[in-house]
Amino acid sequence: MKKITYILAVFCFVVSNGQNQIPGNTQDESTLFNNAKIVTVTGETIENGYLGISEGLIDYVGKKAPEKQYTNKVDLNGKHIYPGFIALNSTLGLVEVDAVRASDDESEIGTFNPNIRSIIAYNAESKIIETMRLNGVLLAQVTPRGGVVSGSSSVVQLDAWNWEDAAIRTDEGIHLNWPSAYSRGSRWTPGPRNLSPSTTYSSNAERIKSVFHNAKNYLNDTNKEDLRLRSMEGLFNGSQTLYLHLNSKRQIQDATSFFKSIGLEKIVLVGARESHLVTDLLVEHNIPVIAAHPHRLPSSEDADVKEAFNLAKKLDEAGVTFGIDVRGQMERMNTRNLPFYAGSFVGHGLDYHSALKSLTINAAKILGIDEKYGSLEEGKSATFFVSEGDALDMRTNVVHSAYIDGRELGLETHQTRLRDKFTEKVERGN
C-alpha cells in the first residue's frame, strides 16, 4: 500500500509540474524599441535610445532612429532595457522539491565524478524556472553538487522545451570541492566549537593531486579506457574550466598553486569568501571569482559584520573579474533575487556599473559565452528584458517584457496566477 501511495504521489507531482508555460515562438518579424534607457553594459548607457532586433539578433543600438524600416515599433516610454542576467553556480532544473527524492538530481553517489553531466538531468519545465524571468534572470549555469569532483556544468537559456533546446554551451567546466583547511567542533561533541586546523586537510589535498596527476598522465596512454579520466581532458587542453569551490586564504593559495603547476590555465574560484586577501595572486594569474552573495553570515566569529557585503567592492577595486554566486539556503527559489544581491553590494560601496557587469558581461566571460551574450551590442543575441526602472532595486525592478534570442517570453507563473486570483476576490469584496 505504501508503495502504491508513493507512486501516485510522484505521478501527481510530475503531472502538476508539467503544466507550465509554452516556450516563445521564433522571431519572424523585426522589431524596433524606442524611447528607452538602454543599458548596454559594455558601452555608454543611452537615454531615449533605439534598439532594433531581427532574426533573434540585435541589429541596431543607438541614439538616433535607424534608417532601416522595422515591421514592429514599440514605444517604451522611458523604461529601461538590460541584457539578460546570468545565474552562476545554480542548481535550477536539477531539484524541484527538496523533500521529494524523485525530483532531486543535483548529485550522484561517489566521490570523484568528473564524467557526470548535469545537463542531461536538467528539467526545462521546472516551475521554479519561470519565476526567474520575472526579475530578469534569463540564463543560468546548471551545476552539479556533491563529492570531491561533482561533474560538469552547462549553460542554459530559461525558455525551452527540453534540455537539448535549453543548452547554450554544454560541459563547459568541471567542479571540484577543495577540502577545508579548518574544521569546527560539532554541537553534539564536548569542547569548544571554534575553528581549528583540520587534521585531514593534507591527506585529502594529496588525494586530489594524485587524481589530477593520473588524469594528465592518462592523456598519453592509449592502451586503456577510463571514462572518468577521459572526461577531464578538456581541463588540460583549455576547452574546459576548472571551478574550485573553496573559501579560505590557505585553500585558495594551495589549490591555485597546484593547478597552475600542472598546466591548467582556465581556473575560476567559487564562493571564495577570503579571496579579497589574495587579490594580487588572482590578478597575476587572471583568475576570476564567482563571489559568495552578500545575504549570508560572516565567515567567522571575529570577522567584520559587513564582511559579506564588502567582498565585491574589494575584488573590484583590486581589478579582479567577478560574478555572483547564487548558492545558499533555498538557492533555487532565491536565484531570482540575483539582481538584488548585486544591489546590496552597491549599497555597500560597489560601483553600480561593476555590479551590472557581474550579472552580465563578466558572468558571460567566465562561462565563455561573451561573444553572443552579456551585453547589448549589434550582432549579439537579442536576449534582454525591459524593466520599469532600476533592475538592481527591488522596488523598481518590475519586468515589463523579456526576450531570449528574440523570442518574447510569457511572464505568467503559478505565483502570478494566484496573485491575480485572490486580487480579484478582494476587489469583488467576497
Q: Are 405 and 387 a contacting pair, CB within 8 Å?
A: no
What is the DSSP track for 253-317?
HHHHHHHHHTT---EEEEE-TTGGGSHHHHHHTT--EEEPPSSS--SSTTS-TTHHHHHHHHHHH
Residue-wise pLDDT for 115-134, tens only, equals 999 999 999 999 999 999 99
Query: For the residues 301-315, what does the mean pLDDT come to?
Result: 92
Residue 14: the pLDDT is 47
Angle at 239 between CA 233 and CA 242, to 5 degrees: 75
pLDDT category of residue 190 using cuts at 50, 70 and 90: low
Residue 333 has pLDDT above 50, yes or no: yes
Q: How far apart are CA 84 and CA 399, in angstroms?
A: 11
Where do you find CATH 2.30.40.10 in the chain?
A: 24-83+375-411
pLDDT score recorded for residue 399: 96
Whether residue 188 has pLDDT greater than 70: no
290: pLDDT strictly greater than 50: yes
Fold entry, domain 85-373: TIM Barrel (3.20.20)
pLDDT of residue 240: 98
For the chain, how many residues are written? Answer: 430
Q: What is the pLDDT of residues 251-272, one digit of tens each?
A: 999 999 999 999 999 999 999 9
What radius of gyration do the chain's Cα atoms show?
23
> pLDDT at position 18, please?
45
Of residues 194 and 112, more confidently modeled: 112
User: What is the average pLDDT value for the chain, to the nearest integer?
Assistant: 91
Phi-psi region of 84 (alpha: psi -120 to 50; beta: other; left: phi over 0): beta
pLDDT digit string, tens, across residues 49-86:
999 999 999 999 999 999 999 999 999 999 999 999 99
Give the integer Cα–Cα distance in Å for 398 and 286.
36
Query: CATH 3.20.20.140 spans which residues of the chain?
Result: 85-373
Domain 24-83+375-411 sits in CATH at: 2.30.40.10
Say what the pTM is: 0.92
Whether the per-residue pLDDT at 3 is higher than 90: the answer is: no
pLDDT the model gives residue 11:
47
Q: What is the pLDDT of residue 238?
A: 95
Mean predicted confidence (pLDDT) in 170-180: 97
